[in-house]
Structures are given as C-alpha cells and as structure tokens.
Chains A and B, each alone.
Chain A
Amino acid sequence: MEEQDINIKITDREGVTHDIVAPTDMAMNLMEVVRSYELAPEGTIGVCGGMAMCASCQCYVESDTVLPEMQDDEEAMLSEAFNVKENSRLGCQIQMTPEMEGLIVTLAPES
C-alpha cells in the first residue's frame, strides 16, 4: 500500500464485501475502482463511461464519509433510476481522494 492509497469497503451485488486499496493519485472515481477490481461483470457497470448518464454504477453509501456535493446531472439521473434509496450515489461521481478513506458502499442491483 502506497502513501497515497486509501482503504475502502465495497459490497458487490452478490453480497460479498471486499477490502479495497484505492489510489488517490490516478484521477479515479469509485466506478472505475469497481471496474479495475472486476467487482461487477464488464458491461454491467460504468456503461456510459462515467458521465452520470446511466446509473449502472449506483451504490448505497453505508459510511458517514463526507462526499462531494451532488451535482445537477447526478441528481437528475438518480431521479430516473431504479432501486434508489436515500443514500444512493453514482460511483462515477465520487472521486478517490484522501477524504474518502474509510468509505463503505454497497453496489445497487443491476437494472
């Protein structure tokens, strides 16, 4: 684990929780971390490439981590997505920064 890495927990769609080491120096977002660790089948997550246009990377935030404020496009996409909860966010809109240390999320079901 490098100095610039953070620890996060991701529960996949099968209910398996993974302890993940995520880099903060590669401009990665949570959706890209999920893809790089292959925690969801290719083609079922990050379908639009990370433009907040598909909700395939929707996740439920289980920790009290202070997240970046939701922008209009993310809010709008979630308003049309399925399986949305109060703690829903789009993984593609959560950048991996040192502030995300300890983040705990669960991937929303594929829809």
Chain B
Amino acid sequence: MIKTDILIIGAGPTGLFTVFEAGLLKLKCHLIDALPQAGGQCSELYPKKPIYDIPGFPEVLAGDLTKNLLEQSKQFEPGFTLGERAETVEKQEDGTFIVTTNKGTKHQAPVVAIAGGLGSFEPRKPLIANIASFEDHGVEYFIKDPEVYRNKRVVISGGGDSALDWSIFLADVASEVTLIHRRNEFRGALDSVEKVQELKSQGKINLITPAEVINVIGHGKVEGVVVSQSQHIEKEFIVETDHFIPLFGLSPKLGPIANWGLEIEKNAIKVNNALDYQTNIPGIYAIGDVNTYPGKLKLILCGFHEATLMCQSAYQRINPGKKYVLKYTTVSGIDGFDGSRKESPKAVVKAIK
C-alpha cells in the first residue's frame, strides 16, 4: 500500500505544480497517471508546441514546461505510479481514501486531488465491427512487451510515429511485419519514414498503402485481417497474421472517475464554485481542465492557481485547527524533503523608511 498526504490523479502541469505547492506546506504527494511518463497532454500530444500564456515565460515549449515542473517538484520527492489508470476509490472509516489502479496498485491518502485534464488517454479503436472480440486475443492497442511478438506475424495499422517506430522495432523481433496505412504519405518523423522505406526494400517490412484493415478473422484468436485497397481492381484480400496492432493515437476519456459518485457536468467534475475546488465528496478535489464551475477557464495558468488554493484547503483538512500563515518563498526559502534548502542571500536591498 502506497501512503501519502495528497494523492494526485493526473501527472500533467496542474498535478505536477500541486506537488510543489503541497511541498511548501510540508505535505507529500504521490501521482497516478495512465500514461507511461509524466507531463499529460503537454508531453503526449504537443511537446514541441510553444505556449505563450505561462506567466514569466514569453514562450515555452510544452515539453520544456513539463521538464521545468518536474525539476521544480523534485525537491519534494513525489512518488509516481505511471502507466496505470486510477480505477476505484473507497472511503475508509478513518476518513482516508484508498484508490486502486487497473493493475491493482493500492494508494491511501486523506486527500485525493483529481488533476486528470481531459481524462485518461485511451487508444482510438478502428471502426471494425468484431474487433472487441479479438482484444487480448491477438488485437492489442498498446505494445507493452515486444517479446510477445518474437517470431510471430504482426500487422500494424496507422500512419503516425507510433506505427512507424514499432514497425521498425518489430522488424528485428517478429517473423513478419506488415504496415498498413490509408495514405501513401506518413505523418511521422522523416528519418522514421526513410527507415521504413529502407526496411521495405530489404524485405523486412511489407508496406501496403493506401489501404485499410476492414475486418479481423480467426477462431478465438487473430488468424488474419481483411485489407481493402479500394482503388485496385482486386479490392479486398486477406493478410494472415498472429497479431493486429491498430495504432491510431489516443483519445482522452473521463474513464472510471465518472463512476466515483462525483457530480459531473459537461463531461467535467463539478466543484464548489472556485472556493477550494472540492467536489461533492469531501476530501476529493478536482483541479485543472478536469473541473467545472461558473467562470471556469481551461488554461494551464488557471490550473496552477487552483492547485495552490486546493493545497491550502487540503492542509486544513489534514491538520484541523492548526494555524498556518502564508509565507513567501523569497523570504522563507524552500526546504526540500530531500534535505536541500534554497534561500535568497541575506542582504539589505533597500530600507523602508
């Protein structure tokens, strides 16, 4: 059981900044995220896109913002459960919550802060009628362990970086790799596209474009896929395979959190009108893009503000009756949980007369 003061669901910018604000109040944090790395949308969707409305940064790349937030929170030693989705929450008699992930990892905390952004990223599934019956029987939307495909036949579908990168990687693992894409052009990095072309000319990858998989066939497990090339006379044919891996990117969904008994409005979690961003369940807060209240703006900078106020409320909840005075980091410095101390040099800059 992982125990912490504030359990944060979502390791995007808002979740990461919560670690810092909680740290100033001597509260420890642990973060859960369905993605295998911290950073949320910023690192998953647009790491190379500039953001122009972060105070103090005329321009910052989304990926760099994530790196900076991780650096800023590092001294407060956050814990991470990555690649797992928060599945259930159970309130305990002592007022704490136990949150269990889809992989069974249990976390306990007196405060839960949902900073889930748009939700957990789920794979976008192709519109193939019978595909669900083959899931985990040869159809996979993520590649968790490449060894599963050793000496097997694999069909990958998609035109982005994931499809290209995994085709390249599995060319040396699988007995046969077929890459199918709806267009002749790919959306991935140029060097990946060139590498796939090279592997195709070496006979290590079968490339079928423009085409799409329209059906999966097999008895209890994948035995082949039906491919359509509508511009050819022979429109449809079967490619025999052991695995079909559609890689069409990710789509955010609120996911299991929607079943936690929280008040949901407009696909977001309703909070108490910007007072301290508490939900209808005392002790569970929602901050950042995942929440809604009158006047809500889905901006990173608003998420930072919400995280700051939420931490003050969480402190009072964890330490009832304990007095706290707001301190300025310029004056009091920062004491990291790792033993580090940051403070400005003591010097009279200007006297107040």
A binds B: yes
Q: Which residues of A contact B (CB under 8 A)?
A: 41-44, 47-48, 51, 53-54, 56, 76-77, 79-80, 82-83, 111
Q: Which of B53-61, B90-98, B172-180, B246-254 contacts A (4 or more CB under 8 A)?
A: B246-254
Q: Is B183 an interface residue when CB atoms closer than 8 A count as contact?
A: yes
A43 to B49, CA, bound (A): 21
Q: Is the CB of A111 within 8 A of B266?
A: no
Q: Are A79 and B187 in contact (CB under 8 A)?
A: yes
Partner of A43, one of B45, B159, B248, B268: B268
Which listed residue (A43, A56, A80) contacts B158, Cβ 8 A? A80
Question: Given the interface contacts A47-B251, A79-B183, A82-B126, does A42 sit within 8 Å of B158 by beta carbon?
Answer: no
Q: Mark B264-308, 1 if CB is under 8 A from A, else 0.
A: 001110000000000000000000000010000000000000000
As a 0/1 sequence over residues 180 to 191 of chain B, the CB contacts with chain A under 8 angstroms (1 = contact) are 011101010000
Question: For the complex, what is the distance from the CA of A82 to the CA of B187, rounded to whole Å?
Answer: 16
Please pick, from A41, A42, A80, A82, the residue contacting B160 in the complex, using a CB distance under 8 A. A80
Contact across chains for B251 and A42 when beta carbons are under 8 A apart: no
Residues from chain B with a CB closer than 8 A to the CB of A111 are 124, 127
Instruction: List the interface of chain B (C-beta within 8 A of A).
Output: 41, 45-46, 49, 118, 124, 126-127, 158-160, 181-183, 185, 187, 248-249, 251-252, 254, 266-268, 292
Cβ contacts under 8 Å, B118 to chain A? 43, 47
30 contacts between A and B (CB under 8 A): A41-B267, A42-B266, A42-B267, A43-B118, A43-B266, A43-B268, A44-B267, A47-B118, A47-B252, A48-B41, A48-B45, A51-B45, A51-B49, A53-B46, A54-B251, A56-B251, A76-B159, A76-B185, A76-B187, A79-B182, A79-B183, A79-B185, A79-B187, A80-B159, A80-B187, A80-B248, A82-B126, A83-B127, A111-B124, A111-B127
- B49 and A82 contact, CB distance less than 8 A: no
Across the two chains, which residue of chain B brings its CB closest to A84? Answer: B182
Q: Are B46 and A41 in contact (CB under 8 A)?
A: no
Q: Once the chains are docked, how many angstroms separate the CA of A69 from the CA of B320?
A: 60
Nearest residue (CB) in B for A83 is B127
CB of A45 to closest CB in B, whole Å: 10
Which A residues touch B183, using CB under 8 A?
79
Residues from chain B with Cβ under 8 Å of A42 in the complex: 266-268, 292
Nearest chain A CB to B231 CB, angstrom units: 14
B158, B183, B268: most-surrounded residue (chain A CB, <10 A): B183
Contact call B267/A51, Cβ cutoff below 8 A: no
CB distance from A13 to the nearest CB of B (A): 14
List residues of chain B with CB within 8 A of the CB of A41.
266-267
